[in-house]
A and B are shown apart, each in its own frame.
Chain A
Amino acid sequence: MSELVRVNDFVIKLANVNGTGSASANSLLMKAIFRMGVPVVGKNYFPSNIQGLPTWYEVRVTHEGYMARAGQVDVMVAMNAQTYAQDLAEVASGGYLVYDSTWPRTEQLQRDDVTILGVPLARMANENFEGARARILMKNVCYVGALAALLDLDLDIIRELLEQTFASKPQLVGANLKAIRLGYDYACEHFDCPLPLRVAALDATAGHIMIDGNTAAALGCLYAGATVGAWYPITPSTSLMDAFSVFCHRYRIDEQSGEKNFCIVQAEDELAAIGMVLGANWAGARAFTPTSGPGISLMSEFIGFAYFTEIPAVLFNVQRVGPSTGMPTRTQQGDLLSCAYASHGDTRHVLLFPANPQECFSTAVEAFDLAERLQTPVMVLSDLDIGMNDWMVPELQWDESYRPDRGKVLDAAELEQMEEFYRYVDRDGDAICARTLPGTHPRGAFFTRGSGHNEKGGYTEDAAEYQAIVDRLARKWETARTLVPPSIVEEQGSDIAILTIGSGDGAAREARAMLAARGLGFDYLRVRAFPFDAAVAGFIERHQRVYVVEQNRDAQLRTMLINDLAVDPEKLHPVLLYDGLPISAGSIVATIENDLARGAAA
């Protein structure tokens, strides 16, 4: 067994049973490391279930500040007898496994290359705490204490975190500290602490926060001035509206009257949720809905309606694994195509792809501006990994000079000056027509209809009139291309490149560094929106091979690139990782190296 000292670069995985309150213990562990100034990545692998099934939490300690899952486990805390064998098998050679030694372990479950550390967690919790629930919770806190000793965590920071967490219930601070101490002392007494894998204070997290993408997106909606939200609960998007509601209750209630400057409607289904969002936008409020794949399927008819009638709307699709109900608590980028072309007929929708929670915040604001500027639905596509996991990102900043871009909306004074108003006349040549809000002025009236209409907004079945409208919508798409956030490009003149999207960013960047270390220099592009901005086609043009890294089976991003840009499909080599787990750099490297080897052999 190697005794190589590895500081600030390893993975701890905690195997728990869901419903046992392990989440708060695990987040205490992660926050403690973060506050020691060491970058961390937290990934939660939870079941679609409320109580009794296996659940895992993974903390990657990474002094280099990588954003992705590591793809290996160095320290396993095996708290779930049901998955013990699987958990033991997952530990990398030379790693450690901590388990609850209150009860004897089956003899067969041994590994010579893994150090097994038994801590009588349940016994200590039972001897020191009263009540079944408290004992279960304190058992978890106990293992944090043991890990504190094993990994050399700062006990003062743990104390400070507990004091802040339980500011309103100070009696809990003492109990938690006692549990920490029990685990800590036991580990110090029985093991050689700290382990060669350990944490050492750094100064690499200043100016950063740990936040999940749904919370950040909700803040974006708040700051963008959204007032109406409609939704139907679905994992993994639910926490977005939950967070929006919490923020609205804090910042949007008039202190004197108690009246709300917002209206959140829990709709009867997603068909209704999108209908409400369209109604609210049509009437002039900023309104949005968060959902996930099955919700998008239900919303499709209304999305096409909004596209054709040119009503702004903001949708968040926090993607999970499909098809159908799929795996609701696992991550994927499987809805790219179904969102891009949602609804029947010729439809295309503006999509935005944040790569992390910080971008969820800024992209949410951009989404409202784009939706109103372009008068069309804009969908922000994140995923479960971004939406529900805590990421370390730079603190969110707000520019006080920001004012919403409400797009072309004529007010009463403008209408008063006009001879006549027609809804779908392209006066400015950008294919975007002026709209009016109900109740503004008699001259502003028009009829919104999803059936064939002409420039004047009148019903039509006339071939030329119909075609003029859909052709203008195609031109509007080109306007959108110039307004959406541009791709991130890092180019050093290599003829091979990695192109990715959304949460693929962290793993792809890390893979790029790994490949560079092996002498393979890759250029890099991350798309941030559909339609693809002008830079993308040129980038693909300039490279021999472009590895398109995405998290679905059918190379949906690749299909969209070919569709939207008419680029040479031969150049686009798919790297498809879609098992539902956040992707790791190692799996990208392996796929690329395989492909390169095959290319060399051919």
Chain B
Amino acid sequence: MSFIRKPKINYSGQRRNSLGLTVRDYEGGMSTLCAGCGHDSITSALVQAFFELEIEPHRVAKLSGIGCSSKTPAYFLSTAHGVNAVHGRMPAFATGANAAARDLYYIGVSGDGDSLSIGLGQFSHAMRRNLDMLYVIENNGVYGLTKGQFSASADVGSKAKKGEVNEQRPIDPVKTALAMGCGFVARSFSGDKQQLLPLLKAALKHRGFAMIDVLSPCVTFNDHEDSTKSYAHTRQFYHPAIDADFIAPREPIRAGYDEGQAVPIQLHDGSQVLLRKVAPDYDPTDRAAAFTYLQRCEQQGEIVTGLLYIESGRPTMHDINRSTATQLRDMPYEELNPGAAALAELQKRFR
């Protein structure tokens, strides 16, 4: 149950980051999800990512909607502010918060129901505005919290636990993000922390909207045979197209990379993403080609993963607005109020 606080035991000798914090300092309350739920693995990858990026936990705003997936912000960064907004409307809340306080790290955690069914509109518009945030969709093809109905990401032919077969085409968050102009589009799997961790780190450091669709099996309602969102199915048809490694500023590029094949992408704070093509014909900087590639693989039933599209430098909501660098919430009132004389002056035109 989420109101149980996890005891904080600091084992001496645990690794500390430059802030003097251990991984434990990035954890949250005890998870109340089902044992084996994919969402919990994503939570632990997030804890690791924030720890490794050495981000002060209280400088993060955690946001979510409603669903099992949306509960997870309570399970990491207990010293960060968090919000469970209403179902499908977290992007709007995040937009307003970011408008007011642009200096924080924003992470949204959502589900396939939350983002692709009830919240498809807000999800799309947040990308259109290029809100500066990491947006994780914990995708299990069902509504976990309401006990297993198909969501909009359910694949054609996938069978529900009660036997019903889905015949409607799925809404793919990755293709949706590509179509909406998103500048950082990735897919991963809750069971592949090695792939997920650098993606999360790169996404947190990406300036603009970074969408990661993480396949995250629901062990209770959608992990059976004939489900296309089960652990087994995902592992079988998993198709990494691009390997991404995250390299912090000043960190030397580790050996082992084949210089010719690795493409470094600069992020705004000096860190880099090193992309290595697993599929030789894949170009993660060509939106149209990415789309075509995804389409082709999808027809063969393959689940393409990795950092599938990246374009840094797209203007964010604040860039487009030409907002001051000072967070709006910190603007001194005296600078916001034009004063009595200005009021008298401007009323001349109402005479």
Contact = CB atoms under 8 A, between A and B. Distances in A.
A283 B96 contact: yes
Interface stretch (A127-135, A439-447, A573-581): A439-447
Interface string B2-14: 1100000000000
A563 interface: no
B146 interface: no
Contacts of B318: 263
A275 B93 contact: yes
9 contacts: A250-B346, A271-B122, A281-B100, A442-B56, A445-B57, A445-B78, A445-B81, A450-B85, A460-B3
Interface in A218-272: 219, 222-223, 225, 227-228, 230, 247, 250-252, 254, 257-265, 267-269, 271-272
A462 B350 CA distance: 58
Interface stretch (B155-163, B198-206, B319-327): B319-327
A553 interface: no
Interface stretch (A42-50, A395-403, A521-529): A395-403
A445 to B, nearest CB: 5
Nearest to A402: B337
B343 interface: yes
Contact of A261 (B74, B79, B121, B335): B335
B255 interface: no
B194 to A, nearest CB: 30
A287 interface: yes
B294 to A, nearest CB: 26
Nearest to A253: B322
A278 B93 contact: yes
A301 interface: yes
Interface in A443-478: 443-451, 454, 458-460
A251 B342 contact: yes
Contacts of B350: 209-211
Contacts of A439: 58-59, 61, 81, 101, 103-104
B328 A261 contact: yes
Contacts of B314: none
A459 B84 CA distance: 11
B348 to A, nearest CB: 9
A35 B351 contact: yes
A271 B89 contact: yes
Interface in A367-402: 395-400
Nearest to B82: A447
Contact of B85 (A34, A211, A268, A305): A305
A184 interface: no
Nearest to A211: B350
Nearest 3 CB-CB pairings of A with B? A275-B92, A279-B96, A285-B100
B37 interface: no
A219 to B, nearest CB: 7
B23 interface: no
Interface centre among A250, A277, A400, A438 (most CB of B within 10 A): A438
Contact of A447 (B84, B121, B324, B328): B84
Given A400-B339, A400-B340, 8 more contacts: A257-B324, A280-B96, A283-B104, A284-B100, A404-B333, A442-B58, A447-B73, A450-B85
Contacts of B99: 228, 263, 265, 276, 279-280, 285, 287
Contacts of B104: 283, 438-439
A276 B93 contact: yes
A276 B92 contact: yes
Contact of B329 (A222, A284, A396, A403): A284
Contacts of B351: 34-35, 209-210
A228 B85 contact: no
B79 A259 contact: no
Interface of A: 34-35, 164, 209-211, 219, 222-223, 225, 227-228, 230, 247, 250-252, 254, 257-265, 267-269, 271-285, 287, 301-302, 305, 395-400, 403-404, 436-451, 454, 458-460
B121 A269 contact: yes
Interface of A is mostly: mixed
B160 to A, nearest CB: 27
Given A227-B100, A301-B86, A285 B61 contact: no
Contacts of B80: 438, 445
Contact of B1 (A260, A284, A441, A459): A459
Given A225-B336, A285-B329, A439-B58, A395 B96 contact: no
A401 to B, nearest CB: 10
A285 B3 contact: no
A222 B340 CA distance: 12
B43 to A, nearest CB: 15
A27 to B, nearest CB: 11
Contacts of A436: 81
B94 interface: yes
B347 interface: yes
B83 A282 contact: yes
Contacts of A442: 56-58, 79
Given A260-B321, A439-B61, A446 B1 contact: no
B100 A279 contact: yes
Given A285-B329, A305-B85, A279 B336 contact: no
Contact of A403 (B89, B101, B333): B333
B125 A272 contact: yes
B92 A271 contact: yes
B331 interface: yes
B84 A451 contact: yes
Interface string B61-98: 10000000000011000111111111001111111111
